[in-house]
Amino acid sequence: MSAPPTAATAQTAPDRVEREVVLRVTGLKKRYGPLEVLKGVDLTVERGEVMCIIGPSGSGKSTLLRSMNHLEEIDAGRVELDGELVGYRQRGHKYVTLPEKVLAKQRAKMGMVFQSFNLFPHMTVLQNIIESPVGVLGQDPKEAKKEAMALLGKVGLAEKAPFYPRQLSGGQQQRVAIARALAMKPRVMLFDEPTSALDPELVGEVLDVMKDLAREGLTMVVVTHEMGFAREVADSVLFMDGGVVVERGKPRDVLLNPQMPRTKDFLSKVL
Ligand SMILES: Nc1ncnc2c1ncn2[C@@H]1O[C@H](COP(=O)(O)OP(=O)(O)OP(=O)(O)O)[C@@H](O)[C@H]1O
Ligand SMILES: [Mg+2]
């Protein structure tokens, strides 16, 4: 039998419940030659959190996402997923890059959706979705197909399974790309401006799918210029400029009542 709630437990709910950290980035630095693109980024993403990252072009948003799932080698700091170091094995003070096979398994835990869809053009929609679950995770093809059809239903494209990407609209292709990433059952989904290559009338259908995922409790990091989406869906908004996190907080604070001059300046141009 559980004890009745006390004043103390009542106080901790629901706002102050400590949620499990899924993704932790600490002191992340990344340079391309002389250009230091990320100058020490710290952030944490909790389970079920939707974090929107905003900021001017060139501020390092894509580089940050790419560094998170080790599509880039990093120069300093660390990325941890469920407490596990991503991309490297630590030997004393040294970091050794993990072998490609181990990296592939780690990346599978972070679904990535890009601006440009990146579907395999020579494969049907269904083949695109089952490729990695079967090839990387070793899932039974029949089971993978069943799950792929369910995912296609979820993004509203069940009837497109036998089609090729070129036969789909941009919005449909992006929804397939989301289903493909979800097929790996990732711990977190990383979206890099998923709607910015789309015609305006196709943006809504992709954002609607993302809203559904957020509602279902998927952990998401979304680089976006869609301020309406950020305001409506994000649990936290992070503003980046010049390779640093300038401001982070609840959408209503960062977007409607920003504290830092650089955030104010950026928002005055985009809102
Ligand atoms: N592979 C690369 N080699 C050299 N420089 C790069 C490379 N990738 C990115 N950069 C540089 O790093 C900086 C940050 O780029 P990044 O793509 O992360 O910015 P962003 O915030 O995503 O911008 P946008 O909003 O335009 O997508 C830019 O100055 C860019 O030119
Ligand atoms: Mg970018």
Q: Model confidence at 17, in pLDDT bands (50, 70, 90)?
A: low
Q: What share of the chain is helix, strand, coil (3-state, %, to 5)?
A: 40, 25, 35
Asked if 225 and 196 touch (Cβ cutoff 8 Å), the reply is yes
Closest-CA residue, ligand 1 atom 28, reads 58
Rounded to the nearest whole angstrom, what is the distance from the C-alpha of residue 79 to the centroid of ligand 1? 19
| CA-closest residue to ligand 1 atom 25 | 57
Does 196 contact ligand 1 (Cβ within 6 A)?
no
- Say what percent of the chain tops pLDDT 70: 94
Are the C-beta atoms of 115 and 154 separated by less than 8 Å?
A: no
Mean pLDDT over residues 17-37, rounded?
94
- Predicted local confidence at residue 122, as pLDDT: 98
Q: What local confidence, expressed as pLDDT, does residue 14 receive?
A: 52
Q: CA 27 to CA 80: how far, in whole Å?
A: 12
Answer whether 32 contacts ligand 1 (Cβ < 6 A).
yes
Q: Which of 52, 57, 270 to mutate to test the pocket of ligand 1 (most atoms within 8 A of CB)?
A: 57
Ligand nearest to the CA of 55: 1
Structure tokens at 70: 């080790």
For residue 6, pLDDT beyond 60: no
Q: How confident is the model at residue 8 (pLDDT cuts 50, 70, 90)?
A: very low
pLDDT score for 112: 95
Ligand that comes closest to the CA of residue 240: 1
Structure tokens at 260: 């830092």
pLDDT recorded at residue 18: 73
Dist. CA 107 → ligand 2 center (Å): 19
Judge if the beta carbon of residue 224 lies within 6 A of ligand 1. Answer: no
Q: What is the pLDDT of residue 16?
A: 54
**With bands split at pLDDT 50, 70 and 90, how would you rate the model's confidence at 11?**
very low
pLDDT in tens, 199-253: 999 999 999 999 999 999 999 999 999 999 999 999 999 999 999 999 999 999 9
Ligand 1 atom 8, closest CA: 63
Average pLDDT, the chain: 93
- 154, 211 in Cβ contact below 8 A? no
Q: What is the pLDDT of residues 134-156, one digit of tens each?
A: 998 999 999 999 999 999 999 99
Instruction: Report how far ligand 2's centroid is from the alpha carbon of 133 (Å).
Output: 27
Long-range contacts from 228-236, C-beta under 8 angstroms, 24+ separation: 229/52, 230/52, 230/54, 230/255, 231/255, 231/256, 233/50, 233/52, 234/50, 234/51, 234/52, 235/49, 235/50, 235/51, 236/49, 236/50, 236/51, 236/52
Q: Which residues contact 40 (CB under 8 A, 6 or more apart)?
A: 27, 28, 29, 76, 77, 244
pLDDT over 80 at 189, yes or no: yes
Verdict on whether the full-model pTM lies above 0.75: yes
